Amino acid sequence: MTEAVTNTGGDWLRLIVGLILVLIFSQLNALFLVWLERKVAGHIQLRYGPMEVGPHGLLQTIVDGIKLVGKELITPFKADKKLFVIAPVLVFMPVLVPFLVLPFGPELIIRDMNVGLLLIFAFSTFSVLAILVGGWASNNKYALLGAIRSVAQNVAYEIPLLLSVMSVVLMVHSFKFSELVMAQQRIWFIFLQPVAAIIYFICATAETNRAPFDIPEAESELVAGFHTEYSGMRFGLFFLAEYTNMFIVCAVATSLFLGGWHGPFGFSLGIPGVVWFLAKTYFLLFVLMWFRWTFPRVRFDQLMNFSWKVLIPLSMLNLLVTALVLKFV
Amino acid sequence: MTAVYIPALIYLAVTMGVMAVILFLSARIGRRRVTREKMLPYECGMDPLGTLEIHFPIKFYVVAMIFIIFDIETVFLYPWAVVFRDLGWFGFVEMLLFTAVILIGLVYLFRKGALEWE
């Protein structure tokens, strides 16, 4: 494909084909990730995980999804009806927009916007709002506590996340994903910015409310946190959004720190870029699931202190050192 | 110029459409039987105790306020990061001062114990 096709402003065909592919991909991805999560959990605990439906339980999540659609949508008597209905819509609404700018391959960017990275961060913050609205509207103690914790956690980890990404932006001078990835043709940024990469990944884990930072939905104390009262497909939308968000944060990590569609040190080994990209992204997703069964859940004060007292000063320091080094190089 | 962002709006609209279909299907297929127990707030199977007017620590508000300060800092830093090369040493020193002010604020918060959770 030529440069003209990649970057023209009015390429509607690309947009529509991309949209259809993204819709299919995001659903398949969520189905696959839920299956993978259960398999990884099973094998780490020396179990098999789902085995019955399909080969190695591969079709289990499809069956679960169909079952979920058939479930009753419960709205508790005292819940704030409007907000209660809006929350799952609000959480799922922004999850497909980041796919517009994610660089799956050299020619596989639907729209290579010059604010690509900012667009992703702007839309990913929606989910906090949705969690707050959902938890508040449920009229349930556990849901409210989960929502409050979630907001405090998400805002605390957003700052080091943005600061760590900024040190990469500083090196490339651009938010454009194609340029961010092209700059890593020779050497991946994880080798030049190891501190930023680690901070980013910790914060991404916290932002997606994954263990060990799954305090908003700590099942041993808060039942299911903010989505305690949700049932049927309303719960399903929270679930879908969570797994799509996991993919997005890992895809961003791949394109910012692991070279995107590039192979290691400029060797592509004849493997197409999109395969490299997806392989690295799914590896990171596997690591996220690995975390869950390796680290115990942190306490809330530890969580907040770790962000404000360690991650934020460290990421600021990393940014300043990056700026200083760039001035002298 | 704003035409660049129209694709994002289209994606939002389509996602809304997909969700409407999913929720409509779910509402139609799923059966609906209202019972008192089902519609009560879930509290592990017991009747809910007390009211929802729980008091949550004031710390959460403090965190929200601190967040705004730092979030604005990052908002200011992003454009700086993009034009960093063109600004030269002036831009570097300016941002150093700006970050130093914010960091002093952070140290002040530590000293005041605003970030202590007991």
Q: Model confidence over B15-74: pLDDT tens digits?
A: 888 888 888 887 777 677 777 777 777 777 677 776 666 777 777 788 888 888 888 888
- Assign residue B21 the CATH number of its domain: 1.20.58.1610
Cα–Cα distance between A160 and A237 in angstroms, integer?
Answer: 28
Q: A118 contacts in B (CB within 8 Å)?
A: 78
Look at residue A12 and tell me if it is in a domain. Answer: no
Look at residue B118 and tell me if it is in a domain. Answer: no
Look at residue B10 and tell me if it is in a domain. Answer: yes
Q: Which of B16, B23, B75 to mutate to test the interface with A (most CBs of A within 10 A)?
A: B23
For residue A241, the tally of other CB atoms under 10 A from its CB is 25
Look at residue B21 and tell me if it is in a domain. Answer: yes
For chain A, the domain total comes to: 1
Q: Model confidence over A251-276: pLDDT tens digits?
A: 999 988 888 888 777 777 777 878 88
**Residue A270, φ and ψ in degrees, nearest 5:** 75, 5
Tokens 């080798």, residue?
A: A191
Look at residue B52 and tell me if it is in a domain. Answer: yes
For chain B, the domain total comes to: 1
Look at residue B43 and tell me if it is in a domain. Answer: yes
Which is nearest to A138 in space by CA: A77, A91, A223? A77
- Output the six-digit token pair for A271: 């493997």
Look at residue A52 and tell me if it is in a domain. Answer: no
Residue A3 has pLDDT above 70, yes or no: no
Q: Model confidence over A218-255: pLDDT tens digits?
A: 667 777 777 777 877 888 888 888 888 889 999 999 98
CB–CB of B41 and A78 under 8 A? yes
Look at residue B117 and tell me if it is in a domain. Answer: no
Surface of A (103-162) touching B: CB under 8 A:
110-111, 113, 118-119, 123, 138-142, 144-145, 148, 151-152, 155-156, 158-159, 162
Mean pLDDT of all residues in chain A?
Answer: 83
CA of B105 vs chain A CAs: smallest distance (Å):
12
CA-nearest residue to B97 within chain A is: A320
Which domain covers residue B30, as residue numbers?
A: 2-112
Q: A90 contacts in B (CB within 8 Å)?
A: none
Q: B18 contacts in A (CB within 8 Å)?
A: 23
Higher-confidence residue of A328 and A121: namely: A121
What ipTM goes with this model?
0.81
